[in-house]
């Protein structure tokens, strides 16, 4: 799972070293107060996997989020669809990174592009034993930054989500290497989530230059 700026795919040794190195350059400023409005928790059917799978849909709890945007009904629906992919993405990350490698087959359901290449690369180095994953990745403090209609579409098909990562709760490091903290464990990440052919998927992950 890449946690740096959008660049061509790199193996986890570079990906995660870049993250922890970048923390020393993250501006020590609080998250801006945009008078956000909390969205209620609700449920939506999980997306069907690509290829017309007949897997039974499961109920997915939409996490609470905040936003400074005045969302209309259609935009709220887009946000909920994007967050179904967001939740499924991290559920699958935690399973696959923790040793349930068969779970990685579900990544294309929730991710595409650079995000998909990144998580698949991470699973490869965990599977071959060169890297070890510990803990549980649990995003928090979700903020909806943008809801847009791109590529000439009438309905919203792009959602940008900012959220908090607590890097003290998980690690992906070379085998036998211990994690060290510089005190900046709470960082803000950005996910770009796009709807393509009826399916919402995480496409990009970026480390933002601010703390949570």
- Give the pLDDT score at 164: 96
What CATH number has the domain bearing residue 133? 3.10.450.50
95 in any annotated domain: yes
pLDDT at 120 exceeding the cut of 80: yes
The count of domains in the chain is 1
Domain presence at residue 3: no
Residue 2 in contact with residue 202, Cβ under 8 Å?
no
> Is 7 domain-assigned?
no
The answer to whether position 151 is within a domain reads yes
pLDDT value at residue 212: 84
User: Could you tell me if residue 1 is inside a domain?
Assistant: no
Residue 128 neighbours by CB under 8 Å, 6+ apart: none
Is residue 32 pLDDT above 50, yes or no?
A: no
Considering only residues 43 and 83, tell me which one the structure prediction assigns the higher pLDDT. Answer: 83
Report the alpha-carbon distance of residue 22 to residue 66 in Å, rounded. Answer: 26
Residue 137 has pLDDT above 60, yes or no: yes
Q: Is residue 173 in some structural domain?
A: yes
Residue-range definition of the domain harbouring residue 105: 12-49+58-211
Residue 5 falls within a domain, yes or no? Answer: no
pLDDT band at 81 (very low <50, low <70, confident <90, very high): very high
Whether the per-residue pLDDT at 39 is higher than 70: the answer is no
Residue 174 counted as domain residue: yes
Tens of pLDDT, residues 172-205: 999 988 877 666 788 999 999 999 889 999 999 9
Average pLDDT over residues 153-179: 91
């Amino acid at each position: 799972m890449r946690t740096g700026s959008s660049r061509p795919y790199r193996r986890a040794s570079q990906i995660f070293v870049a993250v922890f190195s970048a923390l020393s350059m993250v501006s020590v400023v609080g998250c801006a107060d945009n008078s956000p409005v909390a969205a209620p928790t609700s449920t939506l059917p999980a997306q069907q996997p690509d290829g017309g799978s007949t897997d039974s849909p499961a109920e997915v709890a939409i996490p609470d989020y905040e936003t400074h945007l005045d969302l209309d009904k259609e935009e709220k629906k887009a946000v909920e669809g994007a967050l179904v992919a967001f939740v499924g993405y991290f559920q699958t990350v935690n399973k696959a990174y923790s040793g349930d490698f068969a779970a990685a087959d579900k990544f294309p359901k929730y991710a595409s592009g650079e995000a998909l290449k990144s998580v698949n690369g991470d699973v490869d180095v965990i599977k071959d034993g060169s890297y070890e994953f510990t803990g549980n990745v649990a995003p928090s403090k979700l903020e909806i930054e943008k809801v847009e209609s791109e590529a000439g579409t009438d309905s919203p098909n792009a959602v940008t989500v900012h959220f908090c990562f607590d890097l003290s709760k998980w690690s992906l490091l070379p085998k036998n290497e211990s994690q060290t903290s510089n005190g900046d464990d709470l960082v803000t990440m950005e996910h770009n989530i796009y709807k393509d052919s009826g399916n919402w998927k995480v496409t990009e992950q970026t480390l933002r230059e601010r703390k949570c």
